[in-house]
């Protein structure tokens, strides 16, 4: 007989799992300057942009691709077994990352490969954690359990920024070492204390579905990754034939995947689940919320590291750590609103909290858009807190509403589908936000940079060459806490300038002031997109209807297949 305390064991272990997985999604963002310096690679040098992007996004891409298939395997062979294996794989490749000994490009390639394999373990954790909690908790407490789990997952993305900022300046290997003891403890703990309580569904693997889904999604995400890089004199690569082939071909393969899933007996992606209103509109709202939120941390880090912190006396080397610290109000908002809204949604349903949360998030983006680039911090902190509260209000009830609507035998694949939408939207959001920022920067940055450099005595030909720097390089310089002016001008050019001009050009104020105006143009466009995404997410959330709690039909349990479960399910609606 299951212990009444087992649900808390399941919650604490799975929450630790998703927290560790999501911290590792963002921990590199702040640590990247120290990592690249540690292995002796300049991330802003020509040809190294791809290495930088893959080190950031490789983990996200693999988790987005694998979570559905791994959730399906959890339904078939046991969610706890898959979850335990995920912890072991994640921990092993954390060790492989921590012992990195190579330097130069081989060192970065090793890190990228190990991050991809680490992402396999992370995907196994994310694919099965929500299903394990749903199995362990009664329906009237799932909102609280899933809320705590979901908030920890989202908060982990921001906690990773602070952890990376604290550890990387001490020793960049510590960024990976920190996961090892936690992973070892949690792997043993999960093996000893977790056990499967859900319904297993013995079925054949949908190999064609898995293959077409992986190929299609990887092609689209790779296309997005290379689309934000310069190509043939353009600020971005959306006209690159390879990018177009990847995007169009990937989309076509995903359409083929959808056709396959409607024709196989035991599909990987249960299209029939979208006939459940709470599942369909909950996932649509989650997708749009992730689009609005996904690129937010990049924009805020660039804003803080590249402009605000240097203008307020912080050296470029110190900005990564302080950017993470100054973003803490966002995490506080998540941690406060998530558990409370999850608990209340158990009583009143998800609609009010999830819809209201997206409206609050949209309001916070309006506030951020209205702030001057050189803002007063208390206003910035209040806007971040409001954004965290809105996202926290949304995340917990929305996840609980989705999971409550699922048949027991499909909770693993359903959770995997939801995680796929969120993770793919994160990568897509990064591509959208970077594209919008680059579009805003490209319209005014070249003229601003050229006039600013010539005003400080830089020869016109040299200033014109530097002004042609791709906007994405300026964004990456800001993201990494670099002062690119010193590197771009070089000692030869600087030696011909007066001491005053040298100090001003390479100091803390010239570069931030130079890009403030063009950055504000891109910022307005990016936040405008986030506002639109949140408002559409609120509309989708409002269309979820009353509260669905799936109740199995005992007579049908043994024979119902995947699609008939979604159609024949008896859903109890609680107003």
**570-574 and 547-551 strand pairing:** antiparallel
**H or E segment to which residue 572 belongs:** strand 570-574
Q: What's residue 555's pLDDT?
A: 41
Cα distances (Å, whole numbers) of residue 68 to 62, 411, 418: 11, 11, 8
Q: What is the pLDDT of residue 2?
A: 57
What is the rounded CA–CA span in Å between residue 468 and residue 445? 9
Q: What whole-number distance in Å separates Cα of residue 358 and Cα of residue 155? A: 17
Express each pLDDT in 309-333 by its tens digit: 988 988 877 787 788 889 889 888 8
In terms of Cα–Cα distance, which of 62, 296, 72 is closest to 204?
A: 72
pLDDT level of residue 302 (50, 70, 90 thresholds): confident
What's the mean pLDDT in 468-481?
Answer: 72
Mean pLDDT, rounded, for 434-448: 79
Res 481 pLDDT > 70: no
- No. of H helices and E strands in the chain? 23, 2
Place of tokens 């008939």: 564
Q: What is the pLDDT of residue 547?
A: 64
CA–CA dist 316, 306 (Å, integer):
8
Contact, 167 vs 31, CB < 8 A? yes
pTM over 0.75: yes
Mean pLDDT (whole number) for 497-502: 85
- Residue 548 is predicted with a pLDDT of 58
> Number of C-alpha atoms within 13 angstroms, CB side, residue 351?
14
- In this prediction, residue 396 carries a pLDDT of 81
**How would residue 251 be classed by pLDDT, with cut points 50, 70 and 90?**
very high
Average pLDDT for residues 388-397, to the nearest whole number? Answer: 89
Which carries the bigger pLDDT value, residue 221 or residue 356?
356
Is the pLDDT confidence value at 30 over 90? no
Average pLDDT of the chain, as a whole number: 82
Specify the higher pLDDT residue, 427 or 453: 453
Q: What is the mean pLDDT of residues 128-133?
A: 84
Q: Residue 551's pLDDT is what?
A: 60
Q: Indicate the pLDDT class of residue 355, thresholds 50, 70 and 90.
A: very high
Phi and psi angles of residue 172, each rounded to the nearest 5 degrees, phi first? -65, -25
pLDDT for residue 571 = 42
What DSSP string runs through 181-239?
HHHHHHHHHHHHH----S--------HHHHHHHHHHHHHHHHHHHHHTS-BTTBSS-TT
Please state, for a pLDDT cut of 70, what percent of the chain lies above it.
91
């Amino acid at each position: 007989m299951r212990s009444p305390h087992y649900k808390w064991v399941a919650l604490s272990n799975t929450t630790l799992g998703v927290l560790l997985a999501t911290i590792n999604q963002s921990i590199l963002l702040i640590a990247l300057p120290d990592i690249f310096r540690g292995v002796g690679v300049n991330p802003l040098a020509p040809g190294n942009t791809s290495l930088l992007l893959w080190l950031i996004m490789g983990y996200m891409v693999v988790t987005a691709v694998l979570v559905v298939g791994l959730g399906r395997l959890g339904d078939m062979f046991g969610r706890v077994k898959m979850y335990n294996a995920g912890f072991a794989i994640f921990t092993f490749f954390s060790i492989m990352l921590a012992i990195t000994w190579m330097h130069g490009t081989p060192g970065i390639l090793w890190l990228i490969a190990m991050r991809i394999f680490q992402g396999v373990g992370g995907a196994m954790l994310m694919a099965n954690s929500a299903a394990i909690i749903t199995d362990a908790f009664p329906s009237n407490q799932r909102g609280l359990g899933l809320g705590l789990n979901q908030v920890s997952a989202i908060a982990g993305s921001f906690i990773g920024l602070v952890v990376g900022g604290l550890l990387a300046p001490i020793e960049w290997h510590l960024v990976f070492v920190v996961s090892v003891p936690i992973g070892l403890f949690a792997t043993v703990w999960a093996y000893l204390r977790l056990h499967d309580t859900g319904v297993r569904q013995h079925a054949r693997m949908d190999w064609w579905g898995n293959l077409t889904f992986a190929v299609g999604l990887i092609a689209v995400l790779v296309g997005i990754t290379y689309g934000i890089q310069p190509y043939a004199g353009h600020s971005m690569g959306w006209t690159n034939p390879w990018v177009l082939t990847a995007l169009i071909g990937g989309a076509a393969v995903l359409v083929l995947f959808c056709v396959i899933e409607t024709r196989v007996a035991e599909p990987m992606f249960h299209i029939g689940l979208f006939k459940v209103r709470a599942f369909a509109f909950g996932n649509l709202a989650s997708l749009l919320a992730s689009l609005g939120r996904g690129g937010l941390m990049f924009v805020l880090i660039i804003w803080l590291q590249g402009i605000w912190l240097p203008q307020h006396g912080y050296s470029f080397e110190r900005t990564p750590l302080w950017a993470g610290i100054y973003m803490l109000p966002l995490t506080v908002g998540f941690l406060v609103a998530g558990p409370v809204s999850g608990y209340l949604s158990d009583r009143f349903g998800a609609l009010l909290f999830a819809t209201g949360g997206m409206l609050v998030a949209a309001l916070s983006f309006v506030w951020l858009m209205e702030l001057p680039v050189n803002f007063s911090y208390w206003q910035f902190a209040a806007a971040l807190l409001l954004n965290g509260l809105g996202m926290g209000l949304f995340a917990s009830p929305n996840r609980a509403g989705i999971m409550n609507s699922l048949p027991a035998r499909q909770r693993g694949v359903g959770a995997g589908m939801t995680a796929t939408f969120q993770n793919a939207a994160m990568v897509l959001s990064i591509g959208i936000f970077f594209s919008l920022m680059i579009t805003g920067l490209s319209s005014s940055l070249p003229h601003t940079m050229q006039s600013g450099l010539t005003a400080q005595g830089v020869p016109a030909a040299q200033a014109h060459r530097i002004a042609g720097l791709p906007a994405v390089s300026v964004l990456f310089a800001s993201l990494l806490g670099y002062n690119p002016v010193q590197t771009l001008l070089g000692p030869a050019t600087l030696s011909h300038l007066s001491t005053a001009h040298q100090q001003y050009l390479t100091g803390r104020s010239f570069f931030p002031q130079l890009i403030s105006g063009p950055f504000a143009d891109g910022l307005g466009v990016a936040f405008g997109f986030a506002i639109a995404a949140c408002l559409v997410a609120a509309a989708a959330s409002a269309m979820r209807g009353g509260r669905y709690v799936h109740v199995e039909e005992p007579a049908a349990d043994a024979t119902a297949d995947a699609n008939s479960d979604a159609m024949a399910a008896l859903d109890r609606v609680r107003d």
